[in-house]
Amino acid sequence: MSVYTLQTLAEQLNAQLHGDGAVEISAVATLEDAQSGQISFLSNAKYRKFLQQTKASAMLIRAEDLEFCPVAALVVKDPYIAFAKVSQLLDTTPAAAKGIHPTAIVDSSAQVDPTAELGPYVVVSKDAVIAAGVQIGAGSFIGEGASIGAGCKVWPQVTIYHRVRVGERCIIHSGVVLGADGFGFANERGQWLKIPQVGTVVIGNDCEIGANTTIDRGAIGDTLIGNNVILDNQIQIAHNVQIGDHSCIAGCTVVAGSTKIGRYCVIGGAVAINGHIEICDGVQITGMTMITKAITEKGIYSSGMPAATNLEWRKNSVRYRQLDQIYQRLRDVEQELAQLRGATDD
């Protein structure tokens, strides 16, 4: 377990220290649950009411909240960002693997750096390359000619198909499948003919891919995931999709084939994005939205319907089915009004 003094944390965060710098911090916690030896944060003024009762040893706060803080404090510009950085310093997550387990199977042609670690029953196939400091958890499969960059952590039961390339410092969670065949078929008189998917998947640096997410290999070209892209659990990325640097996608979203998503996009959960379209940089899409055409202007886009009482929903459903009738009646009324105005003018 790592322990840092407040003085050390202040130096790491470039923060202003208020209180005893010798106080030791070993963990992070929420404002309401924090105990001695822990540090919490206040980034939203509406939670200020809990500050007086906190049992934390120290707080990460803004300057305007300092007068309300009864314990030692580190004053920072953004307490939530500071909290994330302290959380990394105090992280207690175990390694995905330690050493080379005797049950790991490594092909003689594979290149595995001496500092890499492979858990039980890991398979590293022909011509695969595992760089320095990589951890690969139990039961994971690394396909022929695949490569994993330095400092990556691959959790148990991950499947990385042939020729997939993963950048440096990526985290890949359990159940992820990288490089399975895209959904490519041709129909000949009712008979489906498989189109071999001969591209691959290329993952940039500093990415995180959530549990049970799947990223299909390209049909001819490659499926491309940029640097510092974060993908939540249970996301489907189809063949030849491109996702720009620093974009974020929440759980259960589906991105159809050959779609291009720009840089710094934020996409909510359970979104469905049509294939062969382009979404420009800086777009935000709220949960449950269906995107059927290109988005060329930065902004926030929504189409999901929020929940209502069942009675209200049933009434609105009936009215929705009547929209065409209402439209026809309104058009008839407008035509009659136009005729009456013409007669009056005459």
Residue numbers annotated as active site: 239
DSSP per-residue string spanning 44-87:
SGGGGGGTTT---SEEEE-GGGGGG--SEEEE-S-HHHHHHHHH
DSSP per-residue string spanning 13-46:
HT-EEES-TT-EE-EE--TTT--TTEEEE--SGG
Whether 73 contacts 61, CB under 8 Å: yes
Reading the block at residue 342, the tokens are 């013409």
DSSP 240: T
Could you tell me if residue 228 is left (phi over 0), alpha (psi between -120 and 50 degrees) or otherwise beta?
left
CB neighbour class for 212 (10 Å; exposed up to 12, middle 13-18, buried from 19): middle
Per-residue CA distances from 174 to 10, 104, 255 (Å)? 35, 17, 21
Q: Residue 110: which residues within 8 A CB-CB, separation 6 or more? A: 124, 125, 126, 127, 128, 129, 130
171 vs 173: CA distance, rounded Å: 6
Reading the block at residue 283, the tokens are 């777009």
